[in-house]
A and B are shown apart, each in its own frame.
Chain A
């Protein structure tokens, strides 16, 4: 343990109510000791649940650990507490950038610039998003990540050169859900005929069952719509199912598509619904760009 960590830990132990946990958590994050950093941040949040900087700290730790779903939640919470929080605005811009939603990324960066017009990292981030940094940026060093990403995270900087606003349609299908939890094993986007548009499904044993499940799900949208119509229930919004080994949640990002989210039983069905709505939004934006 470094001296700084020892010193800050001692300070926190002597005064658990102090805000020194912010510095300690940040230091541990920079040292990439994510478990320890998470514990410090969570303990701090238990004592200061409405402190925006504490949520921002936890979000940065989550993002560095590639847990983007929870990072999103924490930055979202940060903005609910402090709508002008530039760290959270830049963090969310980074996450939107990662999933290819450049409009949202720019919108959040613009809000960050309005809140902190002298922050030079915001201009760097704009340059990256607009492709001005060049399409040949090397992974870690050349990409000006700190502006749009949590420091030291640099999770997938090669995307920088590809994600220009005029070439989103060229994104590979498997990246539709890039950045979303379980994108390559528990998320599936289908067209009306049951053909796979993006994502993938794997069994708990790791077997790829994407095409099989897609075939079984063809027609679910039409049957759900018919059932809703027969019962005068309006449009259907979601279809969830509980199995012995996990849950699935189906939504329609557009009338011609179907999105499936699958998780084990450790994730409550209600939360699965929230994740599905978020994934549907990403899918909807992607589908609109394909037109």
Chain B
């Protein structure tokens, strides 16, 4: 994914009301590839944890015969973390950090749409 493509993908996500930030993360090592985050969000740490969680869920779901995880959603008291797989052979993760009252369905759609733009 080129830098302009990454920026466009993040734009799609962060323009949804209630989204505090979005990141593109390398699935294999949990490093941030690109980000558009509000001030105060610890992007590098969240990226590492998102990658690790994605790996655990992926292995669990494949073992359970459900196939690779395409989307996951961590619900918290004051917001949420939403993640989709993107890129060739799902080498990237698109991550959105949201407030509690966000339209999760809309963020999910924008994440999936952004993921489709990834090569």
Query: When the two chains form their complex, are residues B72 and A240 in contact, meaning their CB atoms are under 8 A apart?
Result: yes
Inter-chain CA distance A217–B55, complex, in Å, is: 10
Inter-chain CA distance A203–B60, complex, in Å, is: 11
Known: A224-B53, A230-B46, A231-B41. A242 touches B77 (CB 8 A): no
B52 to nearest A CB, angstroms? 6
A55 to nearest B CB, angstroms? 29
Query: When the two chains form their complex, are residues B65 and A203 in contact, meaning their CB atoms are under 8 A apart?
Result: yes
**Segment of B2-10, B11-19, B78-86 engaged in the interface with chain A:** B78-86
* Nearest opposing residue in chain B for A237, CB measure: B75
Report B-chain residues with C-beta under 8 Å of the C-beta of A223. Answer: 49, 52-53, 56
Inter-chain CA distance A66–B40, complex, in Å, is: 52
Query: When the two chains form their complex, are residues B72 and A213 in contact, meaning their CB atoms are under 8 A apart?
Result: no
B12-49 Cβ-contact flags toward A at 8 Å (1 or 0) = 00000000000000000000000000001110011001
CB proximity to A under 8 Å, residues B71-116: 71-81, 97
Report B-chain residues with C-beta under 8 Å of the C-beta of A248. Answer: 57, 60-61, 64, 66
Known: A230-B42, A234-B78. A216 touches B72 (CB 8 A): no
Query: When the two chains form their complex, are residues A236 and B57 in contact, meaning their CB atoms are under 8 A apart?
Result: no
Report A-chain residues with C-beta under 8 Å of the C-beta of B69. Answer: 241-243
Across the A-B interface, the 8 shortest Cβ-Cβ residue pairs: A234-B77, A203-B65, A244-B67, A243-B66, A233-B76, A241-B72, A216-B60, A246-B66
Kindly count the residue-residue contacts between A and B in the assembled complex, taking CB atoms under 8 Å apart: 118
Report A-chain residues with C-beta under 8 Å of the C-beta of B56. Answer: 216-217, 219-220, 223
Interface residue from B41, B42, B60, B81 paired with A213 (Cβ < 8 Å): B60
Query: When the two chains form their complex, are residues B72 and A242 in contact, meaning their CB atoms are under 8 A apart?
Result: yes
Report B-chain residues with C-beta under 8 Å of the C-beta of A224. Answer: 53, 74
* Nearest opposing residue in chain B for A227, CB measure: B49
Q: What are 8 residue pairs bridging A and B, where the CB atoms are less than 8 Å apart in the complex?
A: A223-B53, A231-B97, A234-B79, A238-B74, A239-B57, A239-B75, A242-B71, A244-B66
Q: Which residues of A contact B (CB under 8 A)?
A: 201, 203-205, 207, 209, 212-213, 216-217, 219-220, 223-224, 226-228, 230-248, 262
Query: When the two chains form their complex, are residues A227 and B61 in contact, meaning their CB atoms are under 8 A apart?
Result: no
Query: When the two chains form their complex, are residues A236 and B74 in contact, meaning their CB atoms are under 8 A apart?
Result: yes
Inter-chain CA distance A262–B64, complex, in Å, is: 9
Inter-chain CA distance A217–B53, complex, in Å, is: 9
Query: When the two chains form their complex, are residues A227 and B78 in contact, meaning their CB atoms are under 8 A apart?
Result: no
Inter-chain CA distance A230–B75, complex, in Å, is: 14
Inter-chain CA distance A232–B53, complex, in Å, is: 18
Inter-chain CA distance A172–B78, complex, in Å, is: 38
Known: A231-B42, A232-B78, A239-B73. A245 touches B66 (CB 8 A): yes
Query: When the two chains form their complex, are residues B68 and A227 in contact, meaning their CB atoms are under 8 A apart?
Result: no
Query: When the two chains form their complex, are residues A205 and B42 in contact, meaning their CB atoms are under 8 A apart?
Result: no
B82 to nearest A CB, angstroms? 10
Inter-chain CA distance A5–B19, complex, in Å, is: 58
Inter-chain CA distance A243–B63, complex, in Å, is: 12
